Structure 1
Amino acid sequence: MANEPVSIVFKLYCLTVMTLVAATYTVALRYTRTVSSDLYFSTTAVCITEVIKLILSVGMLFRETGTLNKLQAVVVEHIFHSPKELLKLAVPSVVYAIQNNMAFVALSNLDAAVYQVTYQLKIPCTALCTVLMLNRSLSRLQWFSVFMLCAGVTLVQWKPAESTKVQVEQNPFLGFMAIAVAVLCSGFAGVYFEKVLKSSDTSLWVRNIQMYLSGIVITLVGVYMTDGPQILEKGFFYGYTPWVCFVVFLASVGGLYTSIVVKYTDNIMKGFSAAAAIVLSTVASVSLFGLQITATFATGALLVCVSIYLYGLPKQDTSKLARTEPQKDSKSKLISV
């Protein structure tokens, strides 16, 4: 349960791992897209990621059910006998497939630090989808932080920092457009998946399995349509190195680990983690890619970090204030709860 007591040590562990995974994934992906002449097919990496996520989700469902017979019964009921549910989860599968492929396009054309900052546009996108799809409201402070974040990203993109050690040809505009598509996909798919989860008491791991099964089919279609002839000529795993395998591993584990972080930490800690990932990505980019930080980039990155913190602050509970105000007018009356 979300309210179960959790030690500060475990929260710090979750925070540290989430920060390192986010920063390392971005820097490692950027490295694999800029240092090798035998460039691997990003569509195959996305497909393999979905396969690994499916295997891990089945393992977690087995741990949840306890026995192979119960696991088999759950899979038969929710997978083979529920085509409508599979179709429902195919929607976020398509959107996430697009998002993951856009990440490869973006990091092929933008530095890891620039990507990490700009990708925080997913926060206002998610906020907008939450308001429209889940009928939730945002506080004034949250709306202010959203506009601050957009201003920070604008500064970062206005005069982006440049890498001096990257020799491959890059298209910053293409990279930014790829991030724009990715954040739109992230916001919609995340809120849609949350809505599906809360519409029934079906296990999270069952929903993940339904989504990843659709994701494998969708990404395989993408592999065939995008790189089919080249893959037939060079092979599915052309250009794969230990670093590429590491990127696939991070992408697979990171997505599943996020659910643990969401369960056991609060928004302030998640915001701090995002800000720390930006700092780590910037430091790594300076040493690995020769990133030259400009004043506008530093200012924009600072605004983004502050806005993430402000967005995660808890809302003020006005209901308690409203209930206590009548006490001032009629001290002699008892207050009923």
Structure 2
Amino acid sequence: MQWYFVAALLTILTSSQGILTTLSQSNGHYTYDYGTVPFLAEFFKLVVSSLLLWRERRVLPSTRMTTEWKSVRLFVIPSVIYLFHNNVQFATLTYVDTSTYQIMGNLKIVTTGILFRIFLRRKLSNLRWMAIVLLAIGTTTSQIKGCGEASCDSLFSAPIQGYMLGILSACLSALAGVYTEFLMKKNNDSLYWQNVQLYTFGVIFNMARLLVDDFRSGFERGPWWSRIFNGYSLTTWMVILNLGSTGLLVSWLMKYADNIVKVIAFTFELTPMVLLSYFF
């Protein structure tokens, strides 16, 4: 499979992610527990990766699988980061519209470029650094509204909480991406085995997050597994499928391309996303 085909498919999926998440809301609020969505998405990725690993081992019994705990435990860190990132995404979309969400998502290129240089010791050309700076400036200025004759209580077009969450999401995405790429290229293990480790921890930590929410609410609504599908609609299931498929494609790019390709694919999604959000 060619990286540019994966990047194109990733562009399509991510351009619809914000729109689907917004469409799953009712009057600006989620009718379901959005913490269950990342859990089911992680479970979906784990099942698919396990099936692909099983098929790979049948074809190639010598498939490399490192099972030492000192290697497996390294996947705990990106799983925790992705846990926070997935939940921050849902919170961000309660404050900003899909276009603003996507524009702020381009900050991932800025944070990824910086982390690339610090942690992976990858050198970027001056032209790329100039592009990163221009992107940061463009993202900021696009959110400054012209007051004109309207009331101008705030300089920005969305609540400050939305921008703070958007920046946090960009930082978490870049950190998780760079760290995961480091792990996947550090050894020669099967991609599917690496995914199984990553998504197993993802399922565990998302379950723990849901249990913590239950304890904090005093189990007023009962345990999370008894209401996991409450308020779900077809759009909610599409969000889960979208998140799961996106994660699988990203892991492929991490293994055989790099984070720069991933964030460039995310940048290309802006135009189709704006057009789709206009109609939906």
Question: 2-side partners of 1:258 and 1:223: how far apart?
Answer: 25
2:107 to 112, 115, 121: 121
Q: 1:187 maps to what in 2?
A: 174
CA distance in 2, matches of 1:153, 1:19: 19
Q: Secondary structure at the match of 1:94?
A: helix
1:221 to 208, 226, 247: 208
Aligned with 2:46 (options 54, 69, 93): 54
Question: Cα–Cα, structure 1 residues 154 and 59, in superposed 2: closer, same or farther, change >3 Å?
Answer: same
Q: Does 1:93 align with 2:79?
A: yes
Do structure 1's residue 237 and structure 2's residue 216 form an aligned pair?
no
Deviations 1:272-316 (A, max 9, x none): 74344211221222222xxxxxxxxxxxxxxxxxxxxxxxxxxxx
**Counterparts of 1:204 and 1:191, CA distance in 2:** 16
For the pair 1:136 / 2:122, whether they are aligned, the reply is yes
The structure showing larger relative contact order (alpha-carbon pairs under 8 Å, at least 6 residues apart) is 2
SS at match of 1:109: coil
Deviations 1:16-65 (A, max 9, x none): 42222111122101111345766111111111111111011112212322
In structure 2, the residue matched to 1:324 is none
SS at match of 2:24: helix
Q: TM-score, normalised to structure 1's length?
A: 0.70
d(CA) in 1 for partners of 2:134 and 2:29? 40
Higher-helix-fraction structure: 1
Matched letter for residue 219 of structure 1: N
Q: Deviations over 1:183-217 (max 9, x none)?
A: 11111111111111222111221111111111111
Deviations along 1:305-330, whole A, 9 cap, x unmatched?
xxxxxxxxxxxxxxxxxxxxxxxxxx
Indicate the SS of the match to 1:202: coil
1:198 and 2:185 matched: yes
- For 1:195 and 1:39, how far apart are their aligned partners in 2? 38
Aligned length: 265
Aligned to 1:43: 35
Residue type at the aligned position of 2:206: T
Q: Structure 2 stretches of 5 or more lacking a match?
A: 147-156
1:225 Cα deviation from its structure 2 partner: 1.5
- Where 1:125 maps in the other structure, the secondary structure is helix
d(CA) in 2 for partners of 1:219 and 1:271? 25
After superposition, the Cα gap between the structure-2 partners of 1:247 and 1:231, relative to the gap in structure 1 and judged at 3 Å, is: farther
Partner of 2:165: 178
Q: Give the direction of change, closer, same or farther, for the CA distance of 1:262–1:224 in structure 2 (3 Å limit).
A: closer
| Contact persistence 1:111–1:285 (CA under 8 A) | no
TM-score of the pair, normalised by structure 2 = 0.83
Change (3 A) 1:45 1:282: same
Question: 1:262: how far off?
Answer: 6.5
Identity %: 26
One-letter code aligned to 2:86: N
Q: Residues 201 and 269 of structure 1: is their aligned pair in 2 closer, same or farther, counting only changes over 3 Å?
A: closer
CA distance in 2, matches of 1:271, 1:207: 21
Look up the equivalent residue of 1:131 and give its one-letter code: R
Is the CA contact (8 Å cut-off) linking 2:181 and 2:255 kept in structure 1? no
**CA-atom RMSD, angstroms?**
3.1
One-letter amino acid of the structure 1 residue matched with residue 273 of structure 2: S
Cα distance change, pair 74–239 in 1 and its aligned pair in 2 (3 A): farther
Change in CA separation of 1:54 and 1:267 when aligned onto 2, cut-off 3 Å: closer
Shift, 1:86, TM fit:
2.7
1:192–1:274 Cα change, 3 Å: closer
Residue of 58, 63, 69 corresponding to 1:83: 69
